[in-house]
Structure formats: C-alpha cells, structure tokens
Amino acid sequence: MLRALVERIPDADYLYFGDTARLPYGSKSAATVAHYAVGAVRYLQDHGAELLVIACNTATALALPEIQAAADVEVIGVVEPGAEAAAAASRKRKVVVIGTEATIGSHAYRLALEARDVAVREKACPLFVPLVEEGWVEHPLTEEVARIYLAEAFSGDAGDADVLVLGCTHYPLIKPLLRRVAPEHVAIVDSAESTAQEVAGQLQIPPSTASSKSGLHGAPALKFFATDSAEKFRKMGTRFLGLPVEDVLHVDLKE
C-alpha cells in the first residue's frame, strides 16, 4: 500500500505504523483487530497524521466503523476502492476475491461488489502471507500453492469470472506469479493501487502529478513505527517498499 501511495503521491509526508508484534491480523477476531487498529490510529494522530489510510484489508473489513469513530481526521479503507475498480474492470460482472481468512469471512468485498451488481466468489488464501514474509515470492512451493488456491477459486460457476481482486497488502508481491497462474482472460486488480487513486482524489491531486515524477525516486519523507524489532521491520519494509527503510522507531503500545 505505501509503495502505491508513494508512486501516486510522491510529495507527501508519510507516517507508517506497522503492528508487527501482533500480526497477523488475518486470523484474529473482529474485536481484537478493532482494539489494535484504534490504538494505532490514536498513536498516528498524536504524531500529526492529517489523513488516515487503513492499508490492511483485514482491519478495513473488520473494524472500519470503529476506526472512523476513533479518528478525528478523514479515514480511507481499501475495500471500497478495490471493489469499485473491480466492478469497473469486469465485463462479465463476475469477480473472484482472494484474501486472509478474516477478510474473506467478513464478506466485506462481497457486499461491496454485490452492491455494484457484481457476482463474487471469495477464497481465503491463508498460506500466502507467511510465504511472502519468508521471501518466497518466486518459490516453486508458492506457485504450487497459488495453483491450488486459484483452481478452487475459479471452479464451477466462477470459471468465467474475469477479474481477480488481491484483497491483502501482501499479495502484490506475488502478483507476477499470480499473473502466470490465473486464467489468461482474468484481469488482476490490486486494491492498494485503487486506494492510492482514491487518496489522490481526496487530496485533489491531478493525474499528471505522478507521471511528472520519477516514482519512488522522488525521495518522499517517510517515518516508520513498529511494535516489534526495528531491525526486522527495516528488512521486511525494504522488501515491500523497494526503498531503504531507515527511520524506524520502536513503539510499545500499552494494552
């Protein structure tokens, strides 16, 4: 998500809160996710955040109303922008959504897409997150897991679905692999890219702004907060962002 935001809005100052000590959110209850997310929101607001983007699909799906109630600034989640982009891309009006167990179990994408008259097949893919965090983005095991998941997702009456929504912020790292495995006729929608466009619209940034910049080479101001090891976060963050992650502050949020 941050990478998509930096590419689209390179001149902004970014504060990024990584709740690494309490991940993954995808296997936790809605109440727990809401509690964790609200704590992060308050911390970011205390450090000057003027617009909040909930990069986590699970937090958006399970706790967006609680987050919005706790925030004093505008909050943008990833589900609605992702659903809007998927609906716009689908000619068949049939979409497959993959995500964590919690995101899929919430049916947030299904509800958002059905509100746009799109039929939905949902598929939880719980193994993708640990595989990505292990760095196995092009590993044969990851590809085999992807083949199994997508074969199930596009089976039966979802066989002619023409859009695949990546409903987790980890999944774009295996997008090239998913492109190889998914049916050829299927377009892939990254909810992070869709959300970055939504944020740019909220900030009234014209489309020409990003194209006039050199993407990630625009040297945005980035500050990171992590609830687990700062060193571990630097390594993982560099992999996700494609930039050196240097300014990381360890945060100990009290329960």
pLDDT tens for each residue of 169-178: 899 999 999 9
Q: Give catalytic status of residue 56 as yes or no.
A: yes
Dig out the tokens for 99 from the structure.
């995500």
Find out whether the peptide bond into 24 is cis, omega within 30 degrees of 0.
yes
Catalytic residue among 168, 181, 210, 226: 168
Instruction: Determine the residue type at 210.
Output: A
Number of H helices, E strands in the chain: 12, 9
What's the order of all strands across the beta sheet hosting 94-99?
Answer: 119-124, 94-99, 163-167, 187-190
Model confidence at 213, pLDDT cuts 50, 70, 90, reads very low
Instruction: Kindly list the domain boundaries of the chain, sorted by start residue.
Output: 2-78+195-250, 79-191
Q: Which alpha helices (H) appear in the chain, and where do they start and end? A: 2-8, 30-46, 57-70, 79-89, 101-106, 108-114, 128-133, 140-153, 175-181, 191-202, 208-211, 230-241
Model confidence at 110, pLDDT cuts 50, 70, 90, reads very high
Residue 219's pLDDT is 59
Give the residue-averaged pLDDT of 201-215: 65
Catalytic residue among 5, 6, 49, 56: 56
Model confidence at 217, pLDDT cuts 50, 70, 90, reads very low
Residue 214's pLDDT is 38
- As a whole number of angstroms, the distance between CA 126 and CA 139 comes to 17
Residue 33's pLDDT is 95
CATH number of 79-191, picked from 3.10.180.10, 3.10.20.30, 3.40.50.1860, 1.20.1420.20: 3.40.50.1860
Which pTM does this prediction carry? 0.90
Which position has the higher pLDDT, 254 or 61? 61
Class for domain 2-78+195-250, per CATH?
alpha beta
60: which DSSP letter? H
